[in-house]
Amino acid sequence: MKFLLVATILATCDAFSPVAPSFFVTSKVMTRQTYTLDGIEGDLSGSPITFSEKEGIDYAATTVQMPGGERVPFLFTVKNLVAKGNGPAFKPGFQMGGAFKTPSYRTGLFLDPKGRGGTTGYDMAVALPGLQSGVNGDDDLFLENNKTFDITDGKIEFEVNKVNNEEQEIGGVFVATQLSDTDMGSKVPKKILTKGIFYARVD
């Protein structure tokens, strides 16, 4: 089954703010052409219908800007999605949903402005030699020195609105939540709510 997802609304919220944990703010997309995931292929199985995503352009590095100017990068993705449906056949009103994994926005070879990285680069702030010893040490920089490859979870729900039986196509809407970039473990991620339309063809 081939999938195409287009996100039409992107909203962010402070996932771990103690004040308003689920308050989403509509944000502007800063990166062009990155709100579509195309060519996603996967296996469809039995009843109830279950879709397991295998490959395709299933990730897009996107940045949105919140009101106030703060930019939130995130990896818009559906990697490793297993979506279970609520019935044995596609028809208008059919819903399916499941969880997916969001890998780290930066991969291991990325170097930050101080040359520190995950699988390569330094593990300390080389430009601050005085912090490598002494009473204070570089514990203040621990979150930036300690690069971790954070894989977080996301959830997506699809609803089919239209079915074309001759061409074996379905179309509908989706809502997804995932976390934003954690900057390899140094910042608290925000929750991203994505709403959009999807199209799929079964073959």
Partner 1 sequence: MKLAVLALLITAASAFTGVAPAAKPSTQLNAADSRRAFLTSAAGAAAAVVGAAPAFAIRDYEGLGYLGGGSQVDVNNANVRAYLKMPGMYPAVAGKIVSNGPYSSVGDIYNIAGLTSREKDVLKKYESKFVALKPSADYVIDRINNGLYR
> Site residues (CB under 8 A) for partner 1?
15-16, 55, 103-104, 107-109, 118-119, 123, 137, 139-140, 142-143, 145-153, 182, 185, 188-189
Q: Minimum distance between the CB of residue 29 and partner 1, rounded to whole angstroms?
A: 24
State the amino acid at position 196 in one-letter form.
G
Smaller CB distance to partner 1: residue 23 or 28?
23
Smaller CB distance to partner 1: residue 16 or 23?
16
Smaller CB distance to partner 1: residue 1 or 163?
1
Q: Minimum distance between the CB of residue 181 and partner 1, rounded to whole angstroms?
A: 12
Smaller CB distance to partner 1: residue 117 or 196?
117
Distance between CA 147 and CA 171 in Å, rounded? 40
Q: Minimum distance between the CB of residue 162 and partner 1, rounded to whole angstroms?
A: 33
Q: Kind of pairing, strands 169-179 and 191-201?
A: antiparallel
Smaller CB distance to partner 1: residue 62 or 145?
145
Q: Minimum distance between the CB of residue 55 and partner 1, rounded to whole angstroms?
A: 8
Q: Minimum distance between the CB of residue 15 and partner 1, rounded to whole angstroms?
A: 7
